Homo-oligomer: A and B are copies of this chain.
Amino acid sequence: MGDDAPTALDLPPVDPLPEHTQAYFDLCAEKIGMVPNVLRAYAFNIAKLDAFSAMYNELMLADSGLSKLEREMIAVVVSSENRCYYCQAAHGQAVRELSGDPELGEQMVMNYRAADLSDRQRQMLDFAVLLTRESASVSESHREALRSVGFSDRDIWDIASVAGFFNMTNRMASATDMRPNREYHSRNR
């Protein structure tokens, strides 16, 4: 795929892309000025790309008691814990954009404990980090702590889902040396 390959694996995209994929990529290019490399990486197999996109969109964009910003904050904090370059770059930008607060994006990357957060958001991120570091030790007391700051059981599911999802994608990105699009770095600074 040349210098522009999205990963270190030799897995070129299906050529030509099926119509619905091409349309999706065109939409990305139009709306955000690039096709995120994670989509280009998956494009060697359209069934896998579709399954990934469906799950991603359901988690990050569908209705939830968590705001989109909160879901992106979880994404970055988990990715920082796992030191995933791709996901910190891409979702750090998302936090900067959704919050309008560039410092907040940096704090999620560098050490979320340095941010001035509400109790709710601090508990949410502490739980995401616990899940990331030592999931086997989660107990009812941790769920109770989330409920005590106002999260519903459905919200707990969503926190766990987003934290879990980035524990998956961080590993996909690190396993394949996935490269973030350069555009992420300079935006919303």
Contact = CB atoms under 8 A, between A and B. Distances in A.
Interface string A10-36: 110000000000000000000000000
A89 B44 CA distance: 33
A18 to B, nearest CB: 16
Copies in the complex: 6
Given A62-B47, A85-B111, A164 B154 contact: no
B171 A135 contact: yes
Contacts of A95: none
A15 to B, nearest CB: 16
Interface residues of A, number: 64
A127 B175 CA distance: 9
Given A9-B156, A89-B106, 10 more contacts: A9-B153, A11-B157, A44-B154, A55-B55, A102-B185, A111-B136, A135-B170, A135-B175, A143-B175, A167-B168
Task: List 6 A-B pairs, minimum CB-CB distance, nearest first.
Answer: A160-B175, A83-B136, A85-B114, A168-B168, A164-B168, A164-B171
A43 interface: no
Contacts of A113: 136-137, 139
Contacts of A137: 113
B58 A47 contact: yes
A119 interface: no
A137 B172 CA distance: 13
A84 interface: yes
A107 interface: yes
